[in-house]
Structure 1
Amino acid sequence: MDSARLRQLGLEVRGEGEGQQATLVLSEPLRNPVGGREVRRVTFHVRGEQLVPADPPEVVGLRPIPLGPVRGPREVEAEVAEAFNESLFHVQRRSAELRALGLNPQVDPVSLGLSTHLAEHGLTLTLVADRQGNFQVSGAARDGHRLPMPHGHPFELSEFHERGALAGYLAALFGEHGPAAEAARTKPEVAGEGVLRFSEVLRAFGEGALVPPRSGLELLVVLEVEGRPYRFAAARVAGRTFRGLLAGAQGKVWAERFELDDFPGVVPLVAGLLKVPAEAVKLVGAGAPQE
């Protein structure tokens, strides 16, 4: 962007091209409510018609500030303050959702970054939120050993009403040797009391049994496609709405919400996503193929 235009907006300008930076001195400082520090200067990377907050840590990751509609320093400052307050709102909202799941929210006193740790069945996950409130897994370990991270996997925290459903959904991202996947491959009489197949539930309670509208429900299906392992996980959001995930050895393949009435079945879904015939999709540990 033209340096003269930036100076007209009250910004101090340094550098040119991709290295161009602009600094705004705030007339009303932003206040860090956790660390107690006041932010009086904000430095941006200039990217086309946008300012990308770059310093100090309290503003890193805020949404970019569009310069097209602004006409002066006050308007730039108002955009920065709005983006900062939006990020604080997301921290408060997501912290409340974490507590509702029995998780401990942690807010960095300098960067205001929100994170938490989720530990279930030997799997320990570190979850971090960006400044817009979107979560993803930033670290994982099983029984103390670090696991390779799949490439990116944002998820909507508010869709999970039970801690176990969230843990099971995310566990499907990490390797075929996870506890749930291992259980799905093992015969019930060998695996012990932790294993439960849906066929056993149906046999015990019959097709007339009901699942209450907001009860947690979590499912895992382990598959092989042309010799490669995959895991399909589904966690109930509410009613007949689920959040589904298909993951392979390289991480996430597909993740979406779906309505139970519109769901084609695991095998047809996987075959369609991987563009293979249904016969190439094998259910591991199943007594018969799924139609």
Structure 2
Amino acid sequence: MAYAPQEVVDVVRMAACLSLNLGTPDAQRVTSMVSAGQEANLRGIPVVLDPVGYGATPFRKHLCSQVLRNVRITVIKGNVGEISQLADAGGQVRGVDSMPGQIIPLAAAAAYARALGAVVAITGATDVVTDGRRAFAVDNGHVYLSQITGTGCTASTAIACFLGAEHLSPTLSPASAPAPCPAPATAAPSDPCSSLSPDPDTGTDPSAEPVPDQIVLQPHAIPPATPDTPSTAGPNPSPLGATCVTAPIPSAAASSKPAGDHEPPPYLTAVVAALAYYGACAEEGAE
């Protein structure tokens, strides 16, 4: 919650993750965000950016662009309208909310993730998370999330918490490390940990594990960015539309790296786990 220029750098030095939220922007706050982000970059601290209302006004777009030009972002989380505009894939926003019924081609979101060198998380009825080479859909939560302004900002905070925990985990000794949540294959439906992917330290591929019925944690192949991509949407399409196709993830050897792309960013699994857990908490809280 710090934004005073006199303290943001000191606060970042104490942090495990930095969350930047464009919510109520002004020039001074964005200057502080850039200072905080650059300090986090110097210290290897992950940075989450929520481009709240990007595209609503030219001023907001300009300030967000300043952050993106000057800070290396680890995760950028937005609704369909915000990410569509950032990825030059159209999209509309109404204030800080996305207009209903919008989609963004998965290829466009993946290309933006590769160009930015960040994980892109798109929230909606189905959340989709991609690093440009892999994509996961998280299909839980509650309809109330779409009716209450600010729930997206709360999701960004959840992502930052999960990234901070993963960032610090190598420093935990076995004696001080918290007990791992049970894997989804064995978790009871009422267990708050049942939404989480298996502990990444075990080397378990979350896509290979059974998951609770209320959550879809399915990897998707990234389709080619061509205008004649056939429509292959299943009965429950994601907010990314018809190009979000269930398929095996291509192996690293089989995939090519376009010129100028960054290496795949870390923390993909942590973002998926954060959104799954957040959705499960929303479901429980609404009951």
TM-score by length of 1: 0.25
* Greater RCO, CA 8 A, separation 6+: 2
Q: Which has the higher strand share?
A: 1
Q: TM-score, normalised by structure 2?
A: 0.25
